[in-house]
Structure formats: C-alpha cells, structure tokens
Amino acid sequence: MSRDLPQRPNIEHLKKQAKELLAAHKRGDPEALDRIRASLPACAALSPDAVADFPLALHDAQSALAREYGAHSWAELRARVRAASGQPPTAPVVQPARQAIDMTDNLPADLQALAAEVRAKLAAGPVYAPTPERIAALPLRNTMAAPGAVAMLMVGRPASLRAVEAALRNDPALICIAAQRKQEVEEPVREDLHDVACLGRLLATCPGESGTVQLAVEGIRWVTLMALETTSPYYVVRIADYELEPSEAGAERIAQLDRKLRERCRELAKVALPPEACEAALALIDTTQDPERLADIVLANLTTSSDERADYAQRTDLVERLERLLEFVEREFTLPVTAASSN
C-alpha cells in the first residue's frame, strides 16, 4: 500500500494512524494484516496467521506506516514532516564524552600517542556541531557507535579511508558511522545499512597494519539515515537528527526505569571493573543526570551486537529504550567478568 503525504503533514495525525494500525492488528483485521505483511520487513515472509500472531509493538506499526509513505523508517518520516513544515534542524552543542577509554600502560607507543590526543581533545571542552545535511560515512560490518562515548575503530576499505580523509578536512571532523545489517556485504547499498546511525567526531587517527587506519571517534548523537547519495570515491549520506517522542507512559515510569538502570549499573560496575575504573564508572552514573544520555553511554559499554544497538536506537519512546537497555544490562551479569570498553 502506497501513500502520499498531504501538502501540510502533521506528525500527530501520523501517530494516530500508527496507533490505529496497531489496534487493527490486535483485532486481526485482514486489511491491517495485509498492510503489515507488505510494509514491515520482519513480517514479509510470514503467513497471514503468523502475521496475526506477530508481537507487533507501536514502533513496528510506525515503521510499517513510514514505509507506506515511502520512508525507510519512522525517524525518516518525522524528518520529512519537519522539513515540510519549515521547522529548522536542531544544532546542539556537543558535550565532551566523559566515558574513559580502556587505554593502559601496556598499549603500543602509537596507541599511547593516540590516547593522549583523544584526552586533549576531550579536555578542550564542548564544541558546536550542528548536524550537516550531507556527510562522509563509514559503513561498518560489526560496529555501531553510540552517543556520549568514544569508540576505537579500525577501517581498511578504500572508500572508508577516503571518507576519513574527507572528514579530517573539516573542523570539527564529523563523520557518520553507519552499521551494516550483514557483515559479509563488501559494498553495501542503502538497504544494507541500518536506518539509524551515529554522527561522530574524529578525535585522532593512527596507521594500523596492512594499510588500515585506527580511529578514535566520539559519538555525538543518533541520526536518521535519509539516503545514500554516493559510494565513490567514498560514501556520502544524507542525514537528519533523530528525535525521541514524548513517552505515553509518562515521567513517573521514566524515573522508575532510570533509578533501576542506575542501580543495576552500579552493581555491574562493582563486579566487572577494576577499582579505579569502577570508581570512574560510579562517578559517571551519579553525575549524568539526563536518562537518555546515560542510557546511550551505558549501551556503548555493554557487549551488544550492532543489530541490538540498532534495535535500541530505532525506538522513539524513551521508556521502550530503557526497558530494552535493562534487558542488555541483566544479560551482562551472566557473562564472564571482563572490563567494559567502548566498542
């Protein structure tokens, strides 16, 4: 089912349509089941009975509706509505990532130099970094960076090396970290990339082995991948800010989940980190007041796959994000005890 946005689209009207689709699915409405099967990738190969039994959530209904309107995701549809209504893009200041990088005295000399450069950049304080409309991108096979933390990455594909060079010509050196859906794809196209990516700032680089380059990238904010414009000589994507919607569960539920997340993260830090790192982690938990920012930092330090991070990031409701993140945190208690790192 294909739809056209009205001349003056309204996001509240679209939210209502998504809720109506969700309610129709719960009723087993045949037309709704057909629409979901046609528009939601997770249901494309399912039988009608299986679609009826599918545990459809509101974000799934939103995703299906977005695809009916020709968007890859609900976030992209929101961005289109924002642009059509003449709302200006947000341009927040980037607060320095306070999450420590796991860089010990045993690191090689080149990485010690990289670590020193990173710490100097972060110590310089916040930078003004509005989200650009077009930007060089790094499609990564098994990594999804997260805002509020520093990720150590290694790139070697020619297009990725050129993307790094392009980013370094700007100040700040912004780049889009786009996670691939399948690791084995060598030259990904738009459909091979997750709908939500991370806008990052290149803090430092150093040569790696066999022509690779090691990068220290500070995650800035989640962005919606609107389009893949070019792949040569490097990937260029069109992006827009990804915005959370007010949670229907309310502030009380958010506060409840926030308290539980902090409590479990404190417990995890005490059993998984050495004393000095534990002290830093506890201080970070106590001083990061914004639940959304803290959740992103926690995500960056858990042993989650890029698909799991994408599942977290694509949720537009903070309550759903926190609930999903708590699942990841609880799982961490069952894993072998190792020090957390950014990625």
Quick one: 264 and 303 in the same domain? yes
**Same-domain pairing of 100 and 74:** no
Structural domain for 314, as ranges? 251-332
Domain final position from 84, 106, 138: 84
Does 135 lie in the same domain as 71? no
Query: Are 152 and 97 in a shared domain?
Result: yes
Q: How many domains does the chain have?
A: 3
Least confident range from 27-36, 89-98, 274-283: namely 89-98
Burial of 126 (0-12, 13-18, 19+ CB in 10 A): exposed
The CA angle 342-74-94, to the nearest 5 degrees, is 40
Pick from 190, 245, 224: nearest CA to 75: 224
Distance of alpha carbon 299 from its chain centroid, rounded? Answer: 10
- The answer to whether position 160 is within a domain reads yes
- 333 Cβ partners below 8 Å, 6+ apart? 267, 268, 271
pLDDT given at position 240: 86
What confidence tens digit (pLDDT) does each residue in 114-173 have?
Answer: 777 887 887 777 777 788 889 999 999 888 889 988 888 889 999 999 999 999 999 899
Q: How many CA atoms lie within 13 A of 104 on its CB side?
A: 6
3-state secondary structure 223-239: EEEEEEEECCCCCEEEE
| CATH number of the domain residue 216 falls in | 2.30.130.40
Number of H helices, E strands in the chain: 12, 8
The amino acid at 43: C
Contact 119, 127 (CB under 8 A): no
How far apart are the C-alpha atoms of 157 and 77, rounded to whole Å?
31
Mean pLDDT confidence for 281-285: 89
Alpha-carbon distances of 310 from 71, 143, 188, 241, 321, rounded to whole Å: 17, 10, 17, 15, 11
Each residue of 226-270: pLDDT tens digit?
A: 889 999 999 999 998 887 877 778 889 999 999 999 999 999 999
The pTM (predicted TM-score) of the whole model is 0.72
Whether 340 is in a domain gets the answer no
The answer to whether residues 125 and 194 belong to one domain is yes
